[in-house]
């Protein structure tokens, strides 16, 4: 395989990184750092396995001296610490906002919003794509691809454009216009599939088996273990931004459930290797009622996920057959957390409330999180006195249509002082 782009790697995958291989989450079978996502023995999902002694050497000072982006955590990731080994838009170090007004509105003592809409393509997906495509180049792939609910396609196409690598991204045909345009503008192939995300995902899995796609890296399919690791930076980063402390509760949106699982893993790891004091973070998962296979399984007390056909406005979370669902359930159960699901109207109201109290305009996934926070407080599952972080994972301008019927000009006036006065604008 040839690497013709500008970031031809100089080191093998795993060199200068604590990653020692892949491990099956199900049966613990181990593998080299290869392009493989399912266990050959039991079909369980593979994840990156680290040398714990190497991780334990990483210090706060080392991280703080690193770049102002996710690569400050490179000593905890699989792709190595050398900038020339990376293919990246350099996402990360997004704001952690002290949400005083939102806390007050909800009767909470201390609430933070981690605003990941501030990433280069305006969603948290830049984190996972940066780690995935950096690994992809080292594994000898020469084209980037994905099965996407929208934000992933935006990020993969943008990373490919920056690196000068061809891309082909697959989306359900009925995505929000903002996400379709943003995927297309970077060039590359954009394939609108006449089906749901789960159909897109199945098609992409089949394509990876064909000769023509042999050198194509589907970031969330055939190299998924590397993709998933990028989500951990959303755990490390919150801990660092809190002054190397763990929060007491977090609320995380769920599509496949991977993000939640990896944030939980990052908190546990931070404590284990001494970056933070030991502490237990109660993890809460958020879904929309239009697609809630994980929250429903949690409510039923099982970890067997029954796939659904997704509906509703939270399209970025519309995965009907979520791969990491059982692991997300385990993370919430084992930490004394929980899950809830919210309706489209509650999601819209969540987007509005977040914007009106924090100045953060979230996409529908952020509305899911705020509405879920509210529901978990009302049901008494979430403690209003405990320090809480909620994750906004995407930008509101991408899903304008979802809230455009909710808001608009509060006044419309002719351009004269008289008209302004008549409209009541001179009474503050
Ligand atoms: C993809 C996505 C998620 C969740 O991702 P999973 O890891 O699949 O659970 C959350 N929010 C937004 C905006 C996303 O695009
Ligand atoms: Zn296995």
Instruction: Give residue-wise pLDDT tens across range 152-176.
Output: 999 999 999 999 999 999 999 999 9
Q: Of 146, 174, 175, which is closest to residue 160 (Cα–Cα)?
A: 146
Q: Give the per-residue pLDDT at 85.
A: 84
Mean pLDDT, range 185-204, rounded to an integer: 97
Rounded-to-10 torsion of CA 361, 365, 369, 375:
110
- Sign of the Cα pseudo-torsion (414, 418, 422, 428, in order): positive
77-91, 102-116, 200-214, 328-342: segment of lowest average pLDDT:
77-91
Q: Give the per-residue pLDDT at 56.
A: 96
Segment 141-153, tens digit of pLDDT: 999 999 999 999 9
Q: How far is the CA of 230 from the centre of ligand 2 (A)?
A: 22
Task: Supply the CATH classification number for the domain 96-121+242-403.
Answer: 3.40.50.1100
Least distant ligand from the CA of 39: 2
Cα 303 to chain centroid distance, Å, stands at 22
Ligand 1 pocket test target in 317, 360, 363, 402 with most atoms within 8 Å of CB: 317
Burial class (CB in 10 A: 0-12, 13-18, 19+), 274: middle
What the block records as the tokens of 274 is 């001494």
Q: Helices 258-272 & 325-334, crossing angle to 10 degrees?
A: 50
Instruction: Determine which helix (DSSP H) or strand (DSSP E) holds 52, and give its type and residue range.
Output: helix 52-56
280 contacts 335 by C-beta, under 8 angstroms: yes
The three-state DSSP-derived secondary structure of 113-170 is EEEHHHCCCCECHHHHHHHHHHHHHHCCCCEEEEECCCHHHHHHHHHHHHHCCCEEEE
Task: Supply the CATH classification number for the domain 123-227.
Answer: 3.40.50.1100
Average pLDDT, the chain: 95
Residue 5's pLDDT band (cuts 50, 70, 90): very low
Can you tell me which atom of ligand 1 is nearest the CA of 258? 7
Ligand 1 pocket test target in 117, 125, 284 with most atoms within 8 Å of CB: 125
Q: How far is the CA of 126 from the centre of ligand 1 (A)?
A: 11
CA contacts within 13 A on the Cβ side of 190: 23
Q: How far is the CA of 28 from the centre of ligand 2 (A)?
A: 6
Mean pLDDT, range 346-360, rounded to an integer: 98
Q: Give the per-residue pLDDT at 11.
A: 80
Q: Give the per-residue pLDDT at 8.
A: 61
First to last CA, the chain: 67
* Phi-psi map region of 342: left, alpha, beta (phi>0 left; psi -120 to 50 alpha): beta
Q: Whose CA is nearest to atom 14 of ligand 1?
A: 316
Q: How far is the CA of 190 from the centre of ligand 1 (A)?
A: 20
Record the pTM.
0.96
Show me where the domains of the chain are located.
10-55, 96-121+242-403, 123-227
* Residue 59 pLDDT > 80: yes
Mean pLDDT, range 132-138, rounded to an integer: 96
Q: Give the per-residue pLDDT at 81.
A: 87
Mean pLDDT, range 319-334, rounded to an integer: 97
Quick one: DSSP state of residue 394?
A: B
Residues 6 or more apart whose CB falls under 8 angstroms from that of 171 comprise 148, 149, 150, 153, 179, 180, 183, 190, 191, 192, 193, 200
Segment 247-288, tens digit of pLDDT: 999 999 999 999 999 999 999 999 999 999 999 999 999 999
Q: Which residues line ligand 1 (CB under 6 A)?
A: 123, 125, 151, 253-259, 316-317, 363, 365, 393-394
Q: Give the per-residue pLDDT at 12.
A: 87
Residue written as token pair 């099982």? 302
Segment 215-224, tens digit of pLDDT: 999 999 999 9
Q: How far is the CA of 42 from the centre of ligand 2 (A)?
A: 4
Least distant ligand from the CA of 30: 2
Q: Of 327, 245, 240, 275, which is closest to residue 44 (Cα–Cα)?
A: 327
Segment 78-119, tens digit of pLDDT: 998 888 889 999 999 999 999 999 999 999 999 999 999 999
Q: How far is the CA of 26 from the centre of ligand 2 (A)?
A: 5
Residue written as token pair 């079909």? 43
* Residue 1 pLDDT > 70: no
* Residue 6 pLDDT > 50: no
| Residue % of the chain over a pLDDT of 70 | 98
Least distant ligand from the CA of 38: 2
Ligand 1 pocket test target in 37, 91, 116, 151 with most atoms within 8 Å of CB: 151
Q: Whose CA is nearest to atom 5 of ligand 1?
A: 255
């Amino acid at each position: 395989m040839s690497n013709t782009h500008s970031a031809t790697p100089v080191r093998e995958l795993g060199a200068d990184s604590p990653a020692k291989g892949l491990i099956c989450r199900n049966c613990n079978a181990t593998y080299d750092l290869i392009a493989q996502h399912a266990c050959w023995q039991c079909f369980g999902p593979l994840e990156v396995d680290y040398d714990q002694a190497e991780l334990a050497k990483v210090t706060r000072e080392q991280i703080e001296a690193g770049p102002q982006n996710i690569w400050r955590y490179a000593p905890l990731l699989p792709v190595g610490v050398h900038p020339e080994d990376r293919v990246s838009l350099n996402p990360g170090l997004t704001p952690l906002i002290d949400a005083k007004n939102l806390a007050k509105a909800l009767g909470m003592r201390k609430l933070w919003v981690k605003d990941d809409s501030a990433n280069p393509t305006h969603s948290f997906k830049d984190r996972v794509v940066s780690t995935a495509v950096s690994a992809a180049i080292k594994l000898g792939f020469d084209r980037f691809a994905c099965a996407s609910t929208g934000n992933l396609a935006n990020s993969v196409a943008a990373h490919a454009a920056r690196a000068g690598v061809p891309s082909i991204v697959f989306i359900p045909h009925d995505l929000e216009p903002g996400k379709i345009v943003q995927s297309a503008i970077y060039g590359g192939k954009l394939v609108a599939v006449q089906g749901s995300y789960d159909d897109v995902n199945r098609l992409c899995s089949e394509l990876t088996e064909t000769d023509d796609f042999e050198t194509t890296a589907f970031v969330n399919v055939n190299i998924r273990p590397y993709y998933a690791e990028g989500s951990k930076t959303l755990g490390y980063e919150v801990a660092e931004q809190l002054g190397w402390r763990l929060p007491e509760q977090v609320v995380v949106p769920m599509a496949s459930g991977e993000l939640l699982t990896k944030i939980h893993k990052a908190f546990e790891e931070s404590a284990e290797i001494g970056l933070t004091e030991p502490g237990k973070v109660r993890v809460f998962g958020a879904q929309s009622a239009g697609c809630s296979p994980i929250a429903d399984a949690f409510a039923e007390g099982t970890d067997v996920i029954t796939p659904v056909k997704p509906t509703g406005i939270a399209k970025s979370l519309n995965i009907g057959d979520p791969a990491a669902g059982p692991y997300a359930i385990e993370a919430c159960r084992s930490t004394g957390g929980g899950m809830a699901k919210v309706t489209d109207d509650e999601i819209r109201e969540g987007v509005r409330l977040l914007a009106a109290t924090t100045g953060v305009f979230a996409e529908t996934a952020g509305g899911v999180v705020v509405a879920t926070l509210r529901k978990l407080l009302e049901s008494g599952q979430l403690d209003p006195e405990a320090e809480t972080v909620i994750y906004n994972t995407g930008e509101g301008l991408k899903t304008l249509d979802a809230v455009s019927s909710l808001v608009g000009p509060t006044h419309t006036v002719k351009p004269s002082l008289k008209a302004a006065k008549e409209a009541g604008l001179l009474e503050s």
